[in-house]
Amino acid sequence: MKADVVLGLQWGDEGKGKIVDVLTPAYRVIARFQGGPNAGHSLEFEDKKFVLHTIPSGIFHETVTNIIGNGVVIDPVILMAEINKLNALGVDVSKRLLISKKAHLILPTHRIIDAAAEAAKGKTKIGSTLKGIGPTYMDKTGRNGLRVGDILSSAFMERYTALKNKHIEFLKQFDYAYEVEEYEKQWMEGIENLRSFSFVESEYAINKYFSEGHKILAEGAQGSLLDVDFGSYPYVTSSSTICAGACTGLGIAPGKIGVVMGIFKAYCTRVGSGPFPTELDNEVGERIRQAGREFGATTGRARRTGWLDLVALKYAVMISGVTQLIMTKADVLDDFDEIQVAVAYTSNGEEIQHLPFEINDPLEPVYKTFKGWKRPISGIKNEAELPFELMNYVRFIEKETGVPVKIISVGPDRAQTIVR
Ligand code: GDP
Ligand code: IMO
Ligand code: MG
């Protein structure tokens, strides 16, 4: 058996939560492999809406096991709040969730360092979600981190205090006032509560599921253009958001990767700072923001909006070897007379068709214009009823990327999904 992978191909918020929830019935295991509570994955069904931050989006399906893999970073306060909310809805999370002992812990002081470092950056700030993601991955690669499995050690408190003190020393370089005690209290409660969950060596757990013939779906967080290596550095997150991240973040051998599903919105959004060549900082962008309800699921910040960027999409497809595309939020463009797609950039007066190293320098998009369909599509149930103009747009994307669009999502609800 192989593991299929779902990835965001843009700057996050492509609709991964919704799509993973839709795909879950075909799988035995849903596993998160990177990121942490910087993610906000929304699910809608039966007139209810849920936002998940650390827990995989398969949690609402009773017979599915959800795994938080070694590549994920966990804030016990946020995780427990999420679990309590789900329990209140009647979802018995402890029966459906396994947590990797190797997943790293976000300490209260990691959050403070995140905030202090961002404040010190001033105008060049990343626009981080301030959940402590960057500092936690820094301690992971710097070999200082604390992991979930360490909770079980008698030396845990000693190691916690040593790392916290290191952080307090580090924070002295910033002119930043902070208070840690209140959050630390909640954090310790979170750690205590976590003890009742099943900690596993998720690489063994996953490979056992494989050997028993079960199907696994790896759920990405963030998007390819926020990848620490291939994203618009330094305006990125601190983990591997691409397909390879599923291997290192779960212990899946590269040869065991099956279908690689890449999700993209019919347009583009970005939250936080950094380059966005097709950004529409105007009334058209505002129309997309309102129609698409483009406000962050984690921070509530208004998302920046713009046209689809095919140069960037092709790059993301290349890096992850995407074999199937999923287009979301086509319905948001229902009212537009014309829809534009960037097919190249002009850089220093020269036309280029690749994402350059100098992505932070001005890039002028070269657009191809498509006729809009000008009718509501969110009630459509099958492909044959989709407007010709939309299918024209879809076929162009398939031709340019060389990858079939297998799913078209026409609304936030589970049911508003057309599988081709
Ligand atoms: P994720 O981080 O990739 O899981 O995406 P988010 O949940 O942060 O943001 C996607 C938003 O779009 C959520 O509010 C979803 O409910 C919503 N959504 C997902 N698919 C569609 C769609 O096809 N149409 C519309 N209108 N909304 C969608
Ligand atoms: P999901 O999984 C959109 C962005 C932040 C910031 C940058 C770094 O919901 O798609 P970080 O907190 O990681 O230090 O922030 O990355 N970012 C996201 N943008 N969706 C996300 O997750 C994101 N997670 C981080 O806005 O620009
Ligand atoms: Mg999101």
- pLDDT-derived band at 40, boundaries 50, 70, 90: very high
pLDDT by residue (tens digit) across 369-409? 999 999 999 999 999 999 999 999 999 999 999 999 999 99
CA angle 368, 369, 375 (to 5 degrees): 145
The predicted structure's pLDDT at residue 138: 98
Say which residue, 348 or 284, is predicted with more confidence.
284
Distance, in Å, from the CA atom of 342 to the CA atom of 276, rounded to the nearest integer, reads 12
DSSP 8-class letter at 279: B
Question: What is the tally of helices (H) and strands (E) in the chain?
Answer: 12, 20
DSSP string, 295-331: B-TTT-PBPEEE-EEHHHHHHHHHHHT--EEEEE-GG
What is the residue with the minimal CA distance to atom 18 of ligand 1?
A: 412
Among 23, 38, 42, say which to mutate for ligand 1: greatest number of ligand atoms within 8 Å of CB.
Answer: 42
Strands 350-352 and 338-347: antiparallel
The predicted structure's pLDDT at residue 192: 97
* Residues near ion ligand 3 (Cβ under 5 Å): 13, 40, 297
User: Which residue in this structure is represented by tokens 């998160």?
Assistant: 32
DSSP string, 160-227: HHHHHHHHHHHHTTS------HHHHHHHHHHHHHHTTSEEE-HHHHHHHHHHTT--EEEE--S-GGG-
Q: How remote is the CA of residue 21 from the centroid of ligand 3, in Å?
A: 14
Phi (first) and psi of residue 392, to 5 degrees: -60, -45
SS3 label, residue 78: helix
pLDDT by residue (tens digit) across 331-371? 999 999 999 999 999 998 999 999 999 998 989 999 999 99
SS3 label, residue 65: strand
Q: Is residue 4 within 8 Å of 260, Cβ to Cβ?
A: yes
Question: Which tokens belong to 104?
Answer: 């790293």
Q: Is the pLDDT of residue 310 over 90?
A: yes
CB atoms within 10 A of CB 6: 24
SS3 label, residue 390: helix
Question: Which tokens belong to 385?
Answer: 């009823």
Q: Which of 4, 13, 21, 114 is catalytic?
A: 13
With a 6 Å cutoff on the Cβ, whether 57 touches ligand 2 is no
The predicted structure's pLDDT at residue 90: 94
Q: Is the pLDDT of residue 297 over 80?
A: no
The predicted structure's pLDDT at residue 160: 98
Among 128, 241, 328, say which to mutate for ligand 2: greatest number of ligand atoms within 8 Å of CB.
Answer: 128
Question: Which tokens belong to 234?
Answer: 């330094």
With a 6 Å cutoff on the Cβ, whether 265 touches ligand 1 is no
* pTM across the whole model: 0.97
What is the chain's mean pLDDT, rounded? 97
Q: Is residue 260 within 8 Å of 320, Cβ to Cβ?
A: yes
The predicted structure's pLDDT at residue 298: 79
With a 6 Å cutoff on the Cβ, whether 275 touches ligand 2 is no
Strand partners, 219: 6, 32
The predicted structure's pLDDT at residue 296: 86
The predicted structure's pLDDT at residue 69: 98
User: Which residue in this structure is represented by tokens 């604390």?
Assistant: 146
Q: Is residue 363 within 8 Å of 347, Cβ to Cβ?
A: yes
With a 6 Å cutoff on the Cβ, whether 398 touches ligand 1 is no
Ligand nearest to the CA of 414: 1
Strands 417-419 and 405-409: antiparallel
Average pLDDT over residues 270-295: 97
Q: Is residue 79 within 8 Å of 55, Cβ to Cβ?
A: yes
